[in-house]
Amino acid sequence: MSLKQRIDADIKQAMLAKDKARLQALRSIKSMIMLAETEKGGAEGISEDAEMKLLTKAAKQRRESAELYAKQDRPDLEEVELGELAVIEEFLPKQLDAGDLRVHLLDIIRRVGATGPSDLGKVMGVASKELAGKADGRAISTAVSDLLNNTDF
């Protein structure tokens, strides 16, 4: 079942359950997918990779908005963003924890032959492709920097 079909089914369930918050989040995801499909100009849909990128972007936007609302002491808006984030994360692959991320990054560092901070670009290029949707880009970047600055990898 494609992501769009799963979202359509979940929209129906949310409507039946009268879950307005979940319904709003699902509709925003569907809207993003439909917009991406029309930008490409084709009716065949978008690839799974593109769908994951859209979901990752949406999750990042919600996370950043929630942080901003927390700083502005707006718990009502923060709660809405966190609710939508929880729904979006249901469709994303399980995120790597710090330990697993480190293991994957060490493997990538060894494969590309990185020796220090000057190889950050090489490692990030491979890591961002391989770990797309599995870890936040900021977390990947921070971990790669830490690992490359510590020459005992």
Q: Express each pLDDT in 32-59 by its tens digit.
A: 888 888 886 655 678 887 888 888 889 8
Domain ranges for the chain: 3-91, 98-149
Q: Which two tokens stand for residue 36?
A: 């991406």
The matching CATH number, chosen from 3.30.565.10, 1.20.140.10, 1.10.10.410, 3.80.10.10, for 98-149 is 1.10.10.410
3-91: CATH topology is: Hypothetical Protein Yqey; Chain: A; domain1 (1.10.1510)
Q: What separation in angstroms does the CA of 61 have from each of 12, 88, 137?
A: 25, 11, 13
Q: What pLDDT is recorded for position 83?
A: 93
Q: Which two tokens stand for residue 20?
A: 């307005």
Residues 62/82, Cβ–Cβ less than 8 Å: yes
In terms of Cα–Cα distance, which of 3, 124, 126 is closest to 55?
3
Q: What pLDDT is recorded for position 119?
A: 86
Average pLDDT over residues 131-144: 85
For residue range 82-117, what is the model confidence (pLDDT) as tens digits?
999 999 989 888 888 888 999 999 999 999 988 888
DSSP state of 94: P
With 0-12 / 13-18 / 19 or more C-beta atoms within 10 angstroms meaning exposed / middle / buried, residue 10 is buried
